[in-house]
DNA sequence: GAACTAACGTTAGAGTCACTAACGTTTATG
DNA sequence: CATAAACGTTAGTGACTCTAACGTTAGTTC
């Protein structure tokens, strides 16, 4: 009707509108929503001086108990080179304790503290709220659908990774 | 049964398994799938010496016709500071032409060439295949659902951005 | 028509993120 | 005992998003 496909003169919204081709691409949609989600969670966690990796480590410790840094690395997907500073931050704040493993003196044993458990509960609450905000346009049923689809996609692409890079840091 | 919740000694899979808490978080699922998708498309496009921004610019030119760099910036979401090198690459390869706008000598007018249109068709094909690979675990109906949900989420969060940062580069 | 404001293309750079390489130390393997 | 492997750690790379500033050109206002 009114939206022109001609290229000669400039229709009013060819200035700002995103091409349909791009809007339909799943990859682009994904990175868009993911970027928005990242922004949301980063901002939300920054308000309590935390980062998303903090949550991953604390949750892992709570669920599986103490472990070495390499173990935590494998459980959370954080590279073991980056794990160092994450644990430094968590230890500074008193959420974990780093002690030498007497049975294997290469290892550090990381343990969650009472404060760490409290912090984990707080972060859980925050992330719940942020997830609510992110998924606010969807009905409860749709949210479940969405999470279900994402889970299947992620599982499929991480079990036997097509390319080796992403599975085991 | 076999998966222990105790923390004292180490059960076999507390070494590698990701905590349930993390696996259910929509934000984490999103960034996981998005990362996988990025890897897929980056690798796929690199095979023909292209990048995803190339596709965005070419698609925009094809759909809305020639435009200034600032216009392309607004249409694609690429910052105008980054648009420079993207257009350099596209011009080097002969996919676009950069000419001074005689009516407004601040502007460059970017035009897609015949080769550019051919390249766009090629990239479209490649991206279709990659999208197929990404969504392979989903049925056609589920793919539509997935894209629909993503679209609604993205639209909701970009129309009136809760935080100003992400909408208009 | 002069002075101010705003948009344009461009360069440089900050900050974050996923990821690799290499090191010294310690434990397992042959 | 020698070699290889896993650990924690440091440093650094490359990509990506985003900000700041500059010179140039165009509208706007008096």
Cα separation, B36 vs B135, in Å, equals: 11
Nearest protein residue, CA measured to C1' of C8: B106
Q: Using 50, 70 and 90 to split pLDDT, how confident is the model at B2?
A: very low
- Asked whether residue B40 carries a pLDDT value surpassing 90, the answer given is yes
Work out the mean pLDDT of chain A and round it to a whole number.
87
Per-residue pLDDT reduced to its tens digit, B145-158: 999 999 999 999 88
Task: Tell which of B149, B156, B162, B168 to mutate to test the A interface (max A CBs under 10 Å).
Answer: B149
Class of domain B44-135: mainly alpha
Nearest DNA or RNA nucleotide to B80 (CA to C1'):
C9
Provide the token pair at A102.
């007497």
Work out the mean pLDDT of chain B and round it to a whole number.
87
Give yes or no for a contact between A76 and A53, defined as CB atoms under 8 angstroms apart.
Answer: yes
Cα separation, B147 vs B168, in Å, equals: 23
Q: What is the pLDDT of residue B117?
A: 97
Which residue of chain B is at minimal alpha-carbon distance from A77? B18
If one compares B104 and A166, the residue with the highest pLDDT of the two is: B104
Q: What is the pLDDT of residue B12?
A: 52
Q: Which residues 83-122 of B are in CB contact (within 8 Å) with A?
A: none
Q: What is the pLDDT of residue A160?
A: 55
A74 touching B (Cβ < 8 Å): yes
Domain spans of chain B, in order of start: 44-135
- Asked whether residue A3 carries a pLDDT value surpassing 60, the answer given is no
Provide the token pair at B27.
């934000």
Pick B131's closest partner by Cβ from A26, A66, A74.
A26
Q: Which residues 48-67 of B are in CB contact (within 8 Å) with A?
A: 52, 56, 59-60, 62-67
Residue length of chain A: 169
Give yes or no for a contact between B78 and B59, defined as CB atoms under 8 angstroms apart.
Answer: no
Residues in Cβ contact with A106 at an 8 Å cutoff, skipping those fewer than 6 apart: none
Q: Distance (Å) from CA B105 to C1' C4? A: 20
Helix (H) or strand (E) holding A126: helix A114-134
By C-alpha distance, which of A68, A23, A65 is closest to B8? A65
Instruction: Give the mean pLDDT of A144-156.
Output: 95
Q: What is the pLDDT of residue B45?
A: 95
User: In whole angstroms, what separates CA B139 from the centre of its chain?
Assistant: 22
Per-residue pLDDT reduced to its tens digit, B119-146: 999 999 999 999 999 999 999 999 999 9
Q: Distance (Å) from CA B43 to C1' C7? A: 37
B68 touching A (Cβ < 8 Å): no
Per-residue pLDDT reduced to its tens digit, A77-135: 999 999 999 999 999 999 999 999 999 999 999 999 999 999 999 999 999 999 999 99
Percent of chain B with pLDDT over 70: 86
Give yes or no for a contact between A68 and A61, defined as CB atoms under 8 angstroms apart.
Answer: no
Residues in Cβ contact with A40 at an 8 Å cutoff, skipping those fewer than 6 apart: A130, A133, A134, B27, B162
Q: What is the CATH architecture of A38-131?
A: Orthogonal Bundle (1.10)
Residues in Cβ contact with A14 at an 8 Å cutoff, skipping those fewer than 6 apart: A4, B64, B65, B67, B71, B75
Q: What is the pLDDT of residue A17?
A: 77
Cα separation, A49 vs A60, in Å, equals: 20
Provide the token pair at A12.
């009013």
Give yes or no for a contact between B27 and A150, defined as CB atoms under 8 angstroms apart.
Answer: no
Judge if the beta carbon of B131 is closer than 7 A to nucleic acid strand C. Answer: no
Q: How far is the CA of B62 from the CAs of A73, A120, B36, B142, in angstroms?
A: 46, 50, 28, 30
């Amino acid at each position: 009707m009114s939206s022109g496909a001609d290229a000669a003169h400039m229709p009013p919204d060819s200035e700002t509108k995103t091409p349909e081709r791009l809007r339909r691409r799943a990859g682009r949609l994904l990175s868009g929503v993911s970027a928005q989600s990242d922004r949301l969670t980063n901002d939300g966690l920054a308000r309590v001086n935390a980062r998303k990796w903090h949550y991953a480590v604390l949750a892992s410790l709570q669920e599986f108990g103490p472990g070495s840094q390499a173990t935590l690395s494998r459980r959370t997907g954080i590279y073991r080179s980056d794990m160092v500073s994450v644990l430094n931050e968590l230890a500074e704040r008193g959420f974990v304790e780093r002690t030498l493993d007497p049975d294997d003196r290469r290892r550090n044993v990381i343990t969650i503290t009472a404060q760490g458990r409290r912090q984990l509960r707080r972060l859980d609450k925050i992330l719940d709220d942020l997830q609510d905000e992110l998924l606010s346009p969807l009905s409860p049923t749709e949210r479940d659908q969405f999470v279900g689809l994402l889970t299947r996609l992620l599982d499929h692409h991480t079990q036997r990774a097509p390319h080796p890079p992403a599975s085991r840091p």
